[in-house]
Amino acid sequence: MNATETTRPAAFAAPMAGTPLLEAVDVTKSFTQDGTPTQALKGVSLSVAPGEFVSIVGRSGSGKSTFLSVLSTLLRPDSGQLTYNGQDLTRATEAEVNALRHGDFAVIFQFHYLLPYLTALENTLLPFMRGLRPVSGAQRRRALECLERVGLADKGHRLPGQLSGGEQQRVAIARALVKDARVLFADEPTGSLDSATGATVMELLSQIHKDGLSVVMVTHNEQYASLSDRVVRMTDGLMA
């Protein structure tokens, strides 16, 4: 599927053969809360090949979400290197990193963060919305295509409150897909769903991965982790 009317900066134009798509080397990150420092990441490395599906598992507090936030550029590491498609993101400008967030990278969370007063279709269109500029017919068609992809073609007019938890998460996935991302980061995407609903969301993520998207997922569920190409484990801020 090709997104309509999205632009990619030339620096991130196409994955280069033989290079990891995404690579973190010796990444550290600490937080200070009420004067107490916590070293959440103590030197974590991970290499993700183009089209690979990697799961990150580990106990609560081991640093999984922090690491996913660094990988997806939501958080700057204190030290270490992060490269995407051969480009050093720790040296990239804010504009280049923003372009990635709006283009190649998509993130979904345990809670879907849909806007409650927008319909499923409008929520899916959010990545295209820039100020007061109206979305185009092509963007609307693309959003409908993505809603269809997640099995919600007939529910685009509903508000999030009129959808089940699993359906809401599927809208969040449609919103992530709408701009034709290359890497999907998912932080416990099934964490707030019952097991049957979680299984449907996982099935969808697996299909999306088979369609060519690289996926990095944090999960507590070993069974879901086993659906990925590779499982890595974190313990106390380090790769186990």
Binding site for ligand ATP (CB under 6 A): 31, 33, 38, 40, 58, 60-66
CB of 55 to ligand ATP, least distance (A): 13
Smaller CB separation from ligand ATP, 62 or 169? 62
Helix (H, G, I), strand (E, B) or coil at 213: coil
Contact 130, 179 (CB under 8 A): no
Give the one entry of Mg ion, ligand ATP, none that residue 117 binds, where binding means its C-beta sits below a cut-off of 5 to 8 angstroms depending on kind. none
Q: Which is nearer to Mg ion, 65 or 190 (CB)?
A: 65
Task: Find the shortest distance in angstroms from Cβ 82 to ligand ATP.
Answer: 16
Compare residues 61 and 134 and give the one whose CB is closer to Mg ion: 61
Burial (CB < 10 A; 0-12, 13-18, 19+), residue 34, is: exposed
Classify each residue of 7-16 as buried b or exposed e, where b means 16 or more C-beta atoms within 10 Å of its C-beta: ebeeebeebe
Nearest to 178 by CA among 137, 123, 237: 123
Q: How far is the CB of 44 from Mg ion (least distance, A)?
A: 14
User: With 0-12 CB in 10 A as exposed, 13-18 as middle and 19+ as buried, what is 188?
Assistant: buried
- Name the minimum Å distance from CB 66 to ligand ATP: 3
For the beta carbon of residue 108, count every other beta carbon within 10 angstroms. Answer: 22
The residue (of 46 and 163) whose beta carbon lies closer to ligand ATP is 46
CB of 240 to Mg ion, least distance (A): 16
Q: How far is CA 124 from the centre of its chain?
A: 15
Phi and psi dihedrals of 5, rounded to 5? 55, 35
Stretch that binds Mg ion, among 3-11, 13-21, 57-65, 205-213 (CB under 5 A): 57-65
Smallest distance, ligand ATP to C-beta of residue 225, A: 13
Piece of the chain touching Mg ion by CB under 5 A; list 58-66, 77-85, 175-183, 196-204: 58-66
| CA nearest to 201, candidates 187, 215, 190, 185 | 190
Residue (2 or 60) nearer to ligand ATP, CB: 60
Nearer Cβ to ligand ATP (29/182): 29
Residue 65 found at the interface with Mg ion (CB under 5 A): yes
DSSP state of 59: -
